[in-house]
Amino acid sequence: MTAAFDVLQSAWRNPRGRTGALILLIVTIAALFGPVLLPDPLAQPDVLDASRPPGLGHPFGTDQLSRDVLARVVSGGRISLSVAFLAVGLSVTLGAAVGLVSGYWGGAVDALLMRIVDGALAIPRLFILLLVLAVWERVPVLALILLIGATGWFATSRLVRGEVLRIREEGYVRAAEVLGARRHRIIFRHLLPNALGPLLVAATLGVGDVILLEAGLSFLGLGIQPPTPSWGGMILDSREVMISAPWAGIFPGLAIVITVLAANLFGDALRDAVDPRSA
Amino acid sequence: MTTVLEVNNLRVSFPGPAHSRFCPVDGVSFSLQRGETLALVGESGCGKSLTSLALLQLIPAPGRIESGSGIRLGDTDVLALKGEALRRIRGRRIGMIFQDPMTSLNPVFTVEAQITEGILAHFRISKAEARDRALQLLQEVGIPDPGERLKAYPHQLSGGMRQRVMIAIALSAEPEILVADEPTTALDVTVQAQILEVLDDLRARRGMAVLLITHDLGIVAGRADRVAVMYAGQIVEEASTPRLFASPSHPYTQGLFASVPRITGPLQRLNPIRGSVPAASAWPTGCRFRPRCPKAFDRSEVEPPLLPVGPDHRMRCWLAEQTKETGHG
Amino acid sequence: MRSWLLLRLIQAVIAFVVALALLFVLMRAAPGDPLSRLSADRPVSRQEIEALRARYGLDQPVGTQLIAFVSGLLHGDLGVSIEHGRPVTSLLAERLPATILLGGSVLLLNFTIGLWLGVRQAVRRGQREDRWLTTLSLTGYAMPSFWLGLVLAWLVGVEWRLLPAAGMQDPLLEADAGFLSRAGDVLRHLILPVVTLSIVSIAATMRYQRAAMLEVLRLPYMVTARAKGLAEHDVTWRHGWRNALFPVITLFGLWLPILVSGSVFVETVFAWPGLGALAAAAVGSRDYPLLMGASLLVAALVVAGGLITDVAYALLDPRVRLG
């Protein structure tokens, strides 16, 4: 645990890492509490107030249905971040579990699991999701989270497996084995501190990837369904009015860029902390 | 005698925590005469390799040579050089051999490419001529079947052969000084002897000055004319080789000798120096050997300068004054 | 070397077969069957659906379907597109060139500018230029390609009227236009999609190249090269980059999926007539045979890309080549 704490602390000391972490924190807080302060993101108060440019009443303007863009961006952030955090939590857990099983048991189990991972990595995640999601009329949010999570663990499992194999070969683990200590206990005891750092990196960078992925799916009409606001969906809606009301598409896009960039800056700093040579 | 290399108060620094800098090489001075072999002896971490890299401004970033340091190659002020002028003395005035021939050769180029590029970097000759010279060099360093070896990649050669190739590279631009940084450390014992023989042979034939950097006192005897012992970033004792071997004076040097097993003479207990080399970021105050020194006394709390012990024999220890008085030296 | 090649080939085939099986299972395991979704979008009667079901073999057990699909695949038959009513293979073949043109141009930019910038960053590690390039490239990486595409299309295409923002050819171009003016026209249409896809993807290349170069920069042979008296440029590029290129070549295999996924969005936004736009449209019309065919083609490309890069790696690195 101290290893993971050290990694976090070192990333925090990195100016870019700290910037990323702070932005991520602000975005999360805004997504959590913002909707309370802002107008109803679904309300279409007045058709005459549609496609207003950014101004006093509506800092980000209104969209073609007179909905407040700022309220929708904040409320969309709530959905996007929830999907991202939950899906990444799921894939990291799955990846760790499969990697552990594969690396620990070895042999046929390992061979089978790793061949499946090879095959799965050959299909871009987006295409797997397109195939599966296209079946639904309206994709339930829970299904979206589960499916994004279930398609994101392949690389993580390889990472954890590699870590298990490495630890198994360490001199002290072998020595402890010779002395009669139970192997799985030694491996788990040493695996956790060793793998936690890389897992943290994978998870943080994964958040950025999933936000982009979910936005992409929503843009294709397969993610979060209207009228629930989502960043990708807002950009899709703005396509028709890009010329007359570009703000309706630009602001949700900027929200994605800022959030994903923050996650990647922090993830990068974490990676540098785990592997200082790459700094 | 002509002085070919003169190092004066060399200090190499690296960044430490919170904008501080520490000096793994901290005030090293020595000179090298034409045709002479000087051995720079010390444990790992004492700064001897950084000293050798500094000679050609090869200190890796973020390390740097502190101002106030002086390196003169004949008439040339090395530290004033940069860019093309610096490039022209690298390999041409000083050739370098490194510790690990495994990683010091580029895995993706043939032996021929790696030797000839050194030649072509300094002489305006054709590729064919450079190839002929490379062939001669391989012969000179005792590589059998040199024509075939030219076409080989490093991974196809044994460790000893690779180190011979490294020597050929170091010689490729006919430098007047050869710096050999632990040239045998990474090799098998039998191969070590062969490589040292090649170096001795070349020195005799070419009349080069050699700076031999090693932790192994065993290879110094009978090979170096003078020895400088380094500890914690400084030279702590300097003398001609026979003199140093006959009467090592600095407690650290004495410790080094006590920890070398003797093959001849009565069986003795080895006496390793207690403790270990301090980290460069935390050199002890006063005499740097003080925490490990069995003879430390109150004056050791003040850092001693290099003091004369006898003719052409100096050490960085306050005991030098007593040693001289009692006529030990 | 030969046995290694054979082993690698077998590995690639297995990966492809597993990918095929996964795709098949995924599609069939989804709730409901593909055709049930059709009725929601179109006025289709029950009988028509049943007829289609029989036509696509959906009334058969899954095992039989898989066998039928694989035997079709072996004969180069991926079925018939529901939306277009034409063989999937001919649709894919028709759209592949445009995607290769787009993807190839992006790759070219990545593997020239991206590698160059990555090496510069490594050499100037920790300096201002390194830090700025990292932030800039990560910002590009954080952009959704469809959003960047829309913004560029709006700004450059509509507001400034500098470049065409849709399609691959100008429909008003005269029918008897010469080859050069046609090529120039395609090139003009190519710029915005290529720039969009390059901006969002170049960070990956730069990061990998920077990391690989940093690994190499601290190796002793770099000191040897400098100590020989080589110019700094030769040390960096000849001795350093030659070695730092290997890990980046293997990146190519990882890189294809990013490129293909990106092209789905970029082609859609710019109406570029390639595979990505075809796949996106197939999603909209729930055209399963087409979607399946496109996914399979992508998987084949990814597997083949990985295989080719591994072989290229082996050929370039004498340690592997000469054993």
Query: Mean pLDDT score of chain A, rounded to an integer?
Result: 85
Name the residue ranges covered by the structural domains of chain B: 3-224, 231-262+269-326
Does residue C168 belong to any structural domain of this protein? yes
Report the pLDDT averaged over residues C247-255.
77
Q: Chains contacting A with at least 3 CB pairs below 8 Å?
A: C
Query: Which chain C residue shows the shortest CA-CA distance from A272?
Result: C211
Which residues in C have their CB inside 8 Å of a CB on B?
125-126, 218-221, 223-232, 234, 239, 242-243, 316-319, 322
Range of the domain at C238: 88-322
What's the pLDDT tens digit per position in C220-248? 999 999 999 999 999 999 999 999 988 88
The pLDDT-based confidence of A175 (bands split at 50, 70, 90) is confident
- Cα distance between residue C251 and residue C261, in whole Å: 16
**B105 vs C242: CB contact, 8 Å cut-off?**
no
Query: Which chain C residue shows the shortest CA-CA distance from B179?
Result: C227
Does residue C21 belong to any structural domain of this protein? no
Query: Which chain C residue shows the shortest CA-CA distance from A235?
Result: C147
User: Tokens for B306?
Assistant: 């290099």
Within an 8 Å CB–CB cutoff, is residue C213 touching chain A?
no
Instruction: Pick the residue of C214, C228, C232 with the most B CBs within 10 A to test the interface with B by mutation.
Output: C228
Within an 8 Å CB–CB cutoff, is residue C251 touching chain A?
no
Fold of B3-224: Rossmann fold (3.40.50)
What's residue C134's pLDDT?
A: 92
Q: Chains contacting B with at least 3 CB pairs below 8 Å?
A: C
Contacts of B100 in chain C (CB under 8 A): 220
Chain pair A-C, CB pairs under 8 angstroms:
174
The pLDDT-based confidence of B157 (bands split at 50, 70, 90) is very high
User: Tokens for A213?
Assistant: 């992925």
The yes-or-no verdict on residue C39 having pLDDT over 60 is no
Does residue C155 belong to any structural domain of this protein? yes
Contacts of A272 in chain C (CB under 8 A): none
Distance from CA of C309 to the nearest CA of A (A): 14
Lowest mean pLDDT among A40-44, B236-240, B241-245: A40-44
The yes-or-no verdict on residue B68 having pLDDT over 60 is yes
Is there contact between B and A if contact means ≥3 C-beta pairs under 8 Å? no
- Cα distance between residue C172 and residue B211, in whole Å: 78
Chain pair B-C, CB pairs under 8 angstroms:
85
Does residue C39 belong to any structural domain of this protein? no
The pLDDT-based confidence of B99 (bands split at 50, 70, 90) is confident
Contacts of A135 in chain C (CB under 8 A): 30-32, 34, 37, 286
Report the pLDDT averaged over residues C64-72.
81
Least CB–CB distance from A260: residue in C19, C142, C286? C142
Query: Mean pLDDT score of chain C, rounded to an integer?
Result: 86
Within an 8 Å CB–CB cutoff, is residue A125 touching chain C?
yes
Contacts of C122 in chain B (CB under 8 A): none
The CATH number of the domain holding residue C95 is: 1.10.3720.10
Least CB–CB distance from C30: residue in A124, A135, A259? A135
Pick B278 or B237 by higher pLDDT. B237
What does DSSP say about strands B313-315 and B307-310: parallel, antiparallel, or unpaired? antiparallel
What DSSP assignment string belongs to A109-169?
HHHHHHHHHHHHHHS-HHHHHHHHHTT-SS--HHHHHHHHHHTS-HHHHHHHHHHHHHHHH
Query: Which chain B residue shows the shortest CA-CA distance from C322?
Result: B156
**C284 vs A221: CB contact, 8 Å cut-off?**
yes
Does residue C261 belong to any structural domain of this protein? yes
Domains observed in chain A: 2-278 (1.10.3720.10)
Distance from CA of C308 to the nearest CA of A (A): 14
What's residue A9's pLDDT?
A: 85
What's residue B326's pLDDT?
A: 47
What's residue B86's pLDDT?
A: 94
What's residue C35's pLDDT?
A: 60
